[in-house]
Amino acid sequence: MCLAVPMLVLEVNESEALCEVFGHRRTAKVDRMLHEPPKPGDYVLISRGVIFRTVPPDEARESQNLFREILTPEKNTANGD
């Protein structure tokens, strides 16, 4: 199983896009089979270095917030809650 965090597209050239999430940047290949190529400001999902889907901004932010919540250490772990 694979989980993909929506990434914000910063730059796009003919075949690659520079994307960012949580302060981490990476390049990914633009899949030619996409209905519409991504543009700066779009949110995308990447698998194996290839952009395979564009995500609506509200869905992307909701997913990022869930991932942030999962990845953020609990503040009250000493209470055992």
What CA–CA distance (Å, rounded) separates 66 from 44? 16
Give pLDDT tens digits for 40-81.
Answer: 999 999 999 999 999 999 999 999 999 888 888 776 555 555
SS3 15: coil
* Structure tokens given for 1: 């199983």
SS3 56: coil
- State the pLDDT confidence band at 35, using cuts at 50, 70 and 90: confident
Q: How many Å is the Cα radius of gyration of the chain?
A: 15
Cβ 44 vs Cβ 19: under 8 Å = yes
